[in-house]
Amino acid sequence: MPKSLYLVLFFFVTSITFAQSTISLKGKVVDETTQLPIESATVYLTSVKDSSVVDYTITNKTGNFNFKIKKSDKPVLLKISYVSYQDFKDDKVDLNTDKDFGTITLKEAVNALNEVVIKSEIPPIRIKKDTLEFNAASFKVGADANVEALLKQLPGVEITPEGKITVNGQEVNNILVNGKPFFGKDGKIATQNLPAEIIDKVQVVDTKTKSEEISGEASGTQEKTINLTIQEDKNKGLFGKIVAGHGSDKRYESSLLLNYFKGEQKVSVLASSNNINSIGFSMDEVFDNMGGGRNSSIYYNDDGSFGINNMSFGGNRGITRSNMVGINYQDKWLKKIDQSGSYYFSNTETENANRTNRINLLPEGRTFTNSNAITKSGSNGHNLDLDFEIKIDSLSTIYINPSFQRNKSYSKSSRNQITTNETFDELNSSTNEDYSDNEFTNFGTDASFSKRFLKKNRGLSINLESEFQRRNDFVNTNSATLFADTTPDDIRNQNRFEKDNNDFVKLEVRFGEPLTDSLRLSLTSEVTYRKVKNDLNTFDFDGANYDDFNDLQSNATSSNATTFFPSTGLIISKAKTNGRINFGPEFITFDARSNYLGLTTDRNKNYVFPRIKGYISHRMGKSKSIYSFYDYGVQLPQANQVLPVENLSNPLSTFVGNEDLRPTQRHNLYFSFNDYDYQSRSGYYIYSGFNLSRDAVVSSTIFDDNFKATTTYQNVDMVYNSYLGVNWNKSFKKEKRTLRFGAGINLNYDANKGLTNAVTFESRGLQVSPKVNLTWSIDELITVSQNYSYSLNSTDYKNYVIDKAQNFVHNARLEITSYVPKHFVIGSDFGYRYNSNIADGFKKDFYLWNVSLGYNFFKDQFLAKVKVYDLLDQNQNATRTISPTAIVDAENTVLKRYVMFSLTYKLEKFGGKKKEGGMIFMD
């Protein structure tokens, strides 16, 4: 989109929002007894007519507040609220002249409970000791909006186009409904599907492990949890949506979500089926389940695939047909057992055509590999997750979280490939016809026992983590690999059977003893055990059957690793500072064994390394905080990296282990600072990190004249990765108008090493990604959102034929949602992407424009829509990737233009009352 158009829109928006005459309302809030200022008290204006919130702010650290508000003849009341103090209410306020309220005193609420407030007087925001709480009714969203739309209205809350949620710069990794998971703790189904109108409060707290939560310890991470509480009168009822759609090019979509709430008992059922690359539950008010637009909040990977709760659903690599059904159940049994659980069944089928051009970097030249592949794949998956919290007594709690996953998949592929040198002479070529199927089973359990003693801050916790994985792979391959010189060609027609077992158990016992009121001694013992086993058996076709055992391409490897980490530590827990540090020796036993060509090899090693890990978190007032953690430990090499077994599965690439490999020593350091001022509704956060690996395990590859590779592994002195991010946002709200700005930049710098043809190479990569966004809205009328990001990827090379490689990407989007005229919902999502330096034959840029028109009828219970995906028929998937060893350009199949007609039915029945035409009637 032309820059001039952005500037015109910017000045138009700002002129409408701010070209208003305003007045100032200011004052100071203090404690009546001590006369000390009260920070973070909520000061808000409500309409005399209907008690609706007109505007609000938060007192700063000196207790001062200041409203800049448009003049109005509408009478309002000034109210002030702060936990443990009596609410303050002033007489009618004149919004035509400035006013200084002077010093306002709040009286302490003697014996008042924190949660006892008059319902009509609940302020928009409450800041408690460790909880940030938003009153959902104070933030207006569209009539049919979901929880995600509500979250976007909350100050300090940001949701990226990829669906990542942050609060005051800290990432949200856990979303609960009434304190319990809702179809998994990632919570995306809750934010995308629960209607905003049923939410009472949005509470933000530090994410804790179950042991920390039960024992009352401070959180050891800087991540946040959002808990959505349901309105009391909505916590008993039935609600949901049913969507069905049919489109051009045989496209279709359908989804169902039904929720039954009755106090502690909650049952939710979901189902979906579509062939438009959607998981089926991004029930956006504009585009429903249509992918490629604003519906990207489940999660997206770098390769374009997407999924939820460990289930992948394809994405921009091909066209996916998916079916899914799931159930979630929550309840409280015998007044002592909190229970929740969910089950999913998923079925997917994806078809894709891939074209790849690869530049292979060598010390004294380059080679070029071009390939084409057609793939069809599918899977059936089952996922069961249960959650039990058992309160034995007031001091002891048991938590058990068993999970089970089973997936069966298949893949058919046809591929051809050719590699040439710099003069375009052919070095090798290959064709493959492959079929594979896979069975994967995973059973895991997280369990803990926590006990608090009568002596304050004395506690014991026992934590058990286990995971048992089984994978069975079958591959039938029919391939021909041809070499340009006299090297014999490699022709294969064979079956491969591979079994992988991976078992892991971790037991941790922690005991805390108070030294002072704020300092505790921590004694911890941690034992881990991991057993990995791999068996590969290959059979060649003998003319009649696949009975000819191929011993060169068959092998068996196994490894056992045991670690014991006894540590002593300190825990600090003060009003504004929390931290923990543990240190001690880590004893490691590593046994690896292989059986190859009749030869058995054993590799047994014992190690002792120091281990240290810790964190510190400090709040500087209510608006600023810092967090830092450090972790030093070792990572063992894998069995196939240390055993003398040749892996010949790929005719063009042989792998063999190196028994002299040493463990990798890893340093991990992280720091963050965030500051969000609720009074000015602006904030910023900074984060940075540094990861250093000594004795890092890297690949050492030798290419012959045919560009056939033999790879082993080596230790190098060190590699590292560092990153830095800065983000800022600010919002302005005047009555129904809201303007939000955001800007940020992310930087990443890494140094990698390896060996190619016995020459050590180095690569140093720099990624710079600035971004800006702007959203302007008028409640229940229109929302306009714009965002732009630029990504630069630059890599410097040493001991390669090239010294530098660089590319950049422009990404711009404009989203418009309109709720006028009445009963209509109009949406337009326009995106532009430009990718520089991509190879000839790959398109550098494309537009993606999706439009939608919806109409509510029959008392808003039905919504009819027509949607057009990729209106300009421009969508594509072309990418450039720069790595330490290659530059890769690739293109995959994507969805192209189609039209979809859909109908949505909305069911709402709460507390024995049914919603009809905006009115509530008794059954």
- Structure tokens of 596? 């190859």
Give me the pLDDT at residue 281, please.
Answer: 62
Cα(570)–Cα(514) distance, integer angstroms? 10
3-state SS class at 11: helix
Burial annotation 449-470 (CB, 10 A radius, 16+ → b, else e): bbbbeeeebebbbbbebbbebe
Give me the pLDDT at residue 621, please.
Answer: 67
Give me the pLDDT at residue 161, please.
Answer: 64
pTM: 0.85
Angle at 284 between CA 900 and CA 854, to 5 degrees: 50
pLDDT-flagged residues of the chain (< 50): 1-19, 112-120, 296-316, 912-923
Cα(235)–Cα(200) distance, integer angstroms? 10
Cα→Cα distances 797→751, 766, 800, Å: 10, 12, 6
From first CA to last CA, the distance across the chain in angstroms is 53
Cα(710)–Cα(704) distance, integer angstroms? 8
Quick check: 796 and 804 in contact, CB under 8 A? Answer: yes
Give me the pLDDT at residue 815, please.
Answer: 93
* Residues with Cβ within 8 Å of residue 634, at least 6 apart in sequence: 586, 588, 607, 609, 663, 664, 665, 666
pLDDT digits (tens, 9 = 90+) for 225-273: 999 998 887 778 888 889 999 999 999 999 998 989 888 888 999 899 9
Cα(670)–Cα(690) distance, integer angstroms? 7
Give me the pLDDT at residue 190, please.
Answer: 80
Give me the pLDDT at residue 110, please.
Answer: 66
Nearest to 865 by CA among 906, 912, 894: 906
3-state SS class at 214: helix
The secondary structure of 337-402 as a DSSP string is EEEEEEEEEEEEEEEEEEEEEEEEEETTEEEEEEEEEEEEEEEEEEEEEEEEEEE-SSSEEEEEEE
Give me the pLDDT at residue 314, please.
Answer: 43
CB-side neighbour CA atoms (13 Å) of 636:
28
* Residues with Cβ within 8 Å of residue 516, at least 6 apart in sequence: none
Residue 491 zone, left/alpha/beta (φ > 0; ψ -120 to 50; rest) = beta
Cβ atoms within 10 A of the Cβ of 705, count? 12
Quick check: 28 and 63 in contact, CB under 8 A? Answer: yes
Give me the pLDDT at residue 496, please.
Answer: 97
Cα(769)–Cα(793) distance, integer angstroms? 9
Cα→Cα distances 768→162, 383, 745, 813, 835, Å: 18, 38, 7, 19, 15
